[in-house]
């Protein structure tokens, strides 16, 4: 087993990783910016190393500082969490070149899936159904017009290097393709330094359904069913649940089997998520994330498995602790993302938390690094916690989420907590009848 893990992240996920390590006796080193010196995971880690000033470019994205922190502390592995350097192939490569273990897939697989064009090509070849679209990148406006015309509007122009919903523009008709193509390219160039774009059929009313996979890096892989992340704002997930209210056991086994087989064929190592849009009973691959996802706890709840522990095992060469036959869905889980944001505009609301009470009780998990007196720094993502509930069935899980939300107290900053209480009163949410556009329409009502 790896013996000392440097956690190259912050917030709730850093604490999540620290907890998994502690339970199996692996030492931890919290690598933190000066803004995070008081963070809970820094307090709880065995050691901590300051890696730079508040801006992420000088701390959490500072590769030389992270490698040096490993050398100073004697850490033999790095867990990148999600975001920051987690899907940076160059980082994974440098980590391994320094004789350290990168807790994640190989640099080659991160690179392959990080480019959405090569990701789609690979998945298509491995028998995974994809969204119809251009074969590869689209370099000129003429080509974009021709392909969109042949495919039929609406179309979506997407950045090959895209992420976080950026570099994505819809063209609803031929009049809109010029603007969409130009805007997607310049947004992609500004955000990712790469203006390569491709075209996809724009699906009108899909759900976002993603399959959790896990590979041992040597040809064995399993799937852990799906998560439904259809409630989104600006292409960002707001609430996630597992299993999906619209996927039955047979469909789960079928699409899960396709995904597990694909990653087994690739000799994929570690945790991954294969994302699909799902419409009229059909799955369409959009991208693969080569890391742990924010919403992984809903999968952990229904399968009774610790995915970070599994990552540590696989990174240590111990293989998976489970086989497909061991993995059985048990009940229903829902996650609400608690952001330090003020409603209704979702404006960031950093600042000092003067009082905090976390919900608890049967089937309630609150993953958060906040505490009374903690000051949320303004430099990073606004996610401050994830409230996850698990119950025997969906209806009970909804009631449990409502109950847990009523117990949550965060004073001093505004949070998105009240949004979920309102959502839970909506008949469509209660019945699970929503597409990826439902939340935006509801917010604009």
**Closest-CA residue to 162 (of 203, 129, 199):** 199
CB-wise, 98 or 234, nearer to ligand ADP? 234
The verdict on 277 binding ligand ADP (CB under 6 A) reads yes
**Closest-CA residue to 227 (of 328, 307, 297):** 297
CB-wise, 293 or 368, nearer to ligand ADP? 293
What residues does 204 pair with on adjacent strands? none
**Closest-CA residue to 222 (of 269, 263, 260, 173):** 260
| Of positions 131, 211, 336, 439, contacts ligand ADP by CB under 6 A | 131
Q: Whole-number minimum distance, CB 439 to ligand ADP, in Å?
A: 10
CB-wise, 187 or 306, nearer to ligand ADP? 187
Q: Whole-number minimum distance, CB 208 to ligand ADP, in Å?
A: 4
Which CB contacts under 8 angstroms, 24+ apart, belong to 367-370?
A: 367/12, 367/15, 367/16, 367/297, 368/12, 368/15, 368/338, 369/11, 369/12, 369/14, 369/15, 369/39, 369/40, 369/41, 370/40, 370/410
DSSP letter for each residue of 53-117: -SSGGGTTT-HHHHHHHHHHHT--EEE--SSTTTT-HHHHHHHHHTTPEESSS-HHHHHHHHSHH
Q: 304: which DSSP letter? A: T
CB-wise, 209 or 262, nearer to ligand ADP? 209
CB-wise, 206 or 215, nearer to ligand ADP? 206
Calculate ∠ Cα 345-12-93, nearest 5°: 110
Answer yes or no: 269 catalytic.
Answer: no
Q: Between residue 163 and residue 222, which ones bind ligand ADP under the rule CB under 6 A?
A: 163-165, 200-203, 206, 208
What are the tokens at 273? 């998520």
Q: Among the candidate windows 58-66, 161-169, 322-330, 390-398, which touches ligand ADP by CB under 6 A?
A: 161-169
> Residues binding ligand ADP: what is the number (CB under 6 A)?
19
The verdict on 138 binding ligand ADP (CB under 6 A) reads no
Q: Among the candidate windows 15-23, 41-49, 159-167, 382-390, which touches ligand ADP by CB under 6 A?
A: 159-167
Radius of gyration of the chain (CA): 21
Contact 197, 137 (CB under 8 A): yes
| Of positions 11, 52, 114, 162, contacts ligand ADP by CB under 6 A | 162
Binding characters for ligand ADP, 340-379, by CB under 6 A (x = yes)? ----------------------------------------
Q: Whole-number minimum distance, CB 397 to ligand ADP, in Å?
A: 22
CB-wise, 395 or 433, nearer to ligand ADP? 433
CB-wise, 191 or 320, nearer to ligand ADP? 191
Residue with tokens 């404006």: 347
Q: Whole-number minimum distance, CB 142 to ligand ADP, in Å?
A: 22
Out of 291, 313, 337, 365, which one is annotated catalytic?
Answer: 291
Q: 118: which DSSP letter? A: H
CA atoms within 13 A on the CB side of 296: 27
> 47-52 and 27-33: which strand pairing?
parallel
Burial 29-43 (b: 16+ CB within 10 A, else e): bbbbbebbeebbbbe
Binding characters for ligand ADP, 298-337, by CB under 6 A (x = yes)? ----------------------------------------
Just list the catalytic residues.
Answer: 291
Name the residues that contact ligand ADP, by CB under 6 A. Answer: 131, 156, 162-165, 200-203, 206, 208, 232, 235, 275, 277, 286-287, 436
């Amino acid at each position: 087993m790896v013996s000392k893990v440097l956690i190259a992240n912050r917030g709730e996920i850093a604490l999540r990783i620290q907890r998994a390590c502690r339970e199996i006796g692996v030492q931890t080193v919290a690598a933190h910016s000066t803004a995070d010196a008081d963070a809970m995971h820094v307090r709880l880690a065995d050691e901590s190393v300051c890696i730079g000033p508040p801006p992420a470019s000088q701390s959490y994205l500072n590769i030389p500082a992270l490698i040096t922190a490993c050398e100073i502390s004697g850490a033999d592995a790095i867990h990148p969490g999600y975001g920051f350097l987690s899907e940076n192939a160059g980082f994974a490569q440098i980590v391994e070149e320094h004789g350290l273990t990168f807790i994640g897939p190989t640099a080659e697989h991160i690179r392959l899936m990080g480019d959405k064009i090569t990701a789609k090509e690979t998945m298509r070849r491995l028998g995974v159904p994809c969204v119809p679209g251009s074969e590869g990148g689209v370099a000129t406006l003429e080509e974009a017009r021709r392909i969109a015309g042949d495919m039929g509007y609406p179309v979506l122009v997407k950045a090959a290097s895209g992420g976080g919903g950026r570099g994505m523009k819809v063209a609803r008709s031929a009049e809109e393709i010029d603007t969409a193509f130009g805007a997607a390219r310049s947004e992609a160039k500004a955000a990712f330094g790469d203006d390569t774009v491709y075209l996809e059929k724009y699906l009108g009313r899909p759900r976002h359904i993603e399959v959790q996979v896990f590979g041992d890096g040597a040809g064995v892989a399993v799937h852990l069913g799906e998560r439904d992340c259809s409630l989104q704002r600006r292409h960002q997930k707001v609430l996630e649940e597992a299993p999906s209210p619209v996927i039955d056991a047979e469909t789960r086994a079928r699409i899960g089997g396709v995904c597990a087989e694909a990653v087994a064929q690739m000799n994929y190592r570690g945790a991954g998520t294969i994302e699909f849009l799902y419409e009229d009973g059909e799955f369409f691959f959009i991208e693969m994330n080569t890391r742990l996802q924010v919403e992984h706890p809903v999968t952990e709840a229904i399968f009774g498995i610790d995915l970070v522990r599994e990552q540590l095992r696989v990174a240590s060469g111990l293989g998976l602790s489970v086989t497909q036959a061991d993995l059985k869905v048990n009940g229903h889980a829902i996650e609400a993302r608690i952001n330090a944001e003020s409603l209704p505009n979702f404006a960031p609301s950093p600042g000092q938390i003067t009082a905090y009470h976390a919900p608890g009780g049967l089937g309630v998990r609150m993953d958060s690094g906040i505490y009374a007196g903690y000051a949320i720094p303004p430099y990073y993502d606004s996610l401050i916690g994830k409230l996850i509930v698990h119950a025997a069935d969906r209806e009970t899980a909804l009631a449990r989420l409502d109950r847990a939300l009523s117990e949550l107290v965060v004073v001093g900053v505004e949070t998105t907590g009240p949004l979920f209480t309102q959502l839970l009163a909506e008949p469509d949410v209660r019945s699970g009848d929503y597409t990826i556009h439902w939340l935006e329409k509801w917010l604009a009502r």
